[in-house]
Amino acid sequence: MNHLSLRGVSKNFGGVQALSNVSFDVRPGEIVGLMGANGAGKTTLFNLITGHIPASGGQILLRGQPLAGLRPDQICRLGVGRTFQIVKPFPRLTVADNLLTAALFGRIGLRDRKQAMEHCAGILEDLALAHCADMPASELTLSGQKRLELARALCGGSDLILLDEVMAGLTPPEVQDMLDVIARLQSSRNLTIVIIEHVMRALMTLSDRIVVLHLGEVLLSGTPDDIASDPRVHDVYFGAEQ
């Protein structure tokens, strides 16, 4: 069974048709890249999957179960975690407490603080955040805050992770670190990942398949090699030659 399925999903904001009839599947354990120029509808799609905004039409299924009508917290407890393009930690809480919040109130809903701390400790290590566990989240570098968002999704027990531009604004070595972290986590924790990324090298390296959105519609989908060699992708990003 697919981990995530979109069937004819549409979203309009008044007169703006942000998404039209979008359909694709994500299999368990797959990394699917979502690609498209600014305004193509990528983040809107994440907001529909996580229940932050309702779809105007179509169906979103998580392991075959329709998500329509569920609140973001309910969808989170079904195992859907996300990061935000503009990071959203609890800025005054320490890094460790940001993660504890997820472990206590997320999908796994641990009730015991000590148990929750043990659960989060390994994830702090995996995301290279252990040395700043007692620091307020607002004092982390951008790279640290991006890793904290990913760590928070994991501490909550999510197994479908939606990554929204986790590499934006990072230096090339930080991008490489993030690539390594995501690949390692995906295989060690058997995560299913949908990733939006404008850093093409990262998307091409990580993704098993890529879905290209253009003006709210699926333009094409395929392996990274298929996508890299398709002239339509070049046209979408750089404009068709006249």
Ligand X SMILES: Nc1ncnc2c1ncn2[C@@H]1O[C@H](COP(=O)(O)OP(=O)(O)OP(=O)(O)O)[C@@H](O)[C@H]1O
Q: Which of 4, 32, 40, 150 binds ligand X (CB under 6 A)?
A: 40
Asked if 44 is part of the footprint of ligand X (rule: CB under 6 A), the reply reads yes
Q: Which of 5, 10, 20, 43 binds ligand X (CB under 6 A)?
A: 43
CB of 187 to ligand X, least distance (A): 27
The smaller minimum CB distance to ligand X, of residues 154 and 213, is found at: 213
CB of 71 to ligand X, least distance (A): 18
**Residue 42 and residue 197 in contact, taking contact as beta carbons nearer than 8 Å:** no
* Cα 223 to chain centroid, rounded: 19
Binding mask 2-31 for ligand X (x = CB under 6 A): -----------x--x-x-------------
CB of 218 to ligand X, least distance (A): 13
The smaller minimum CB distance to ligand X, of residues 43 and 145, is found at: 43
- Tell me the C-alpha distance between 85 and 45, whole Å: 13
Question: Coil, strand, or helix at residue 120?
Answer: helix
Amino acid, res. 36? G
Stretch that binds ligand X, among 41-49, 57-65, 90-98, 224-232 (CB under 6 A): 41-49
Residues in 200-229 at the binding interface with ligand X, rule: CB under 6 A: none
Closest CA to 4 of 160, 114, 131: 160
Q: How many residues does the chain have?
A: 242
Asked if 137 is part of the footprint of ligand X (rule: CB under 6 A), the reply reads no
Q: Is the Cα dihedral 11, 145, 150, 134 positive or negative?
A: negative
Asked if 54 is part of the footprint of ligand X (rule: CB under 6 A), the reply reads no
**Residue 150 and residue 156 in contact, taking contact as beta carbons nearer than 8 Å:** no
Helices (H), 90-158: 95-105, 113-126, 142-155
Crossing angle of helices 113-126 and 142-155, in 10° steps, is 130
Asked if 36 is part of the footprint of ligand X (rule: CB under 6 A), the reply reads yes
Amino acid, res. 57? G
Asked if 153 is part of the footprint of ligand X (rule: CB under 6 A), the reply reads no
Residues that bind ligand X (CB under 6 A): 13, 16, 18, 36, 38-44
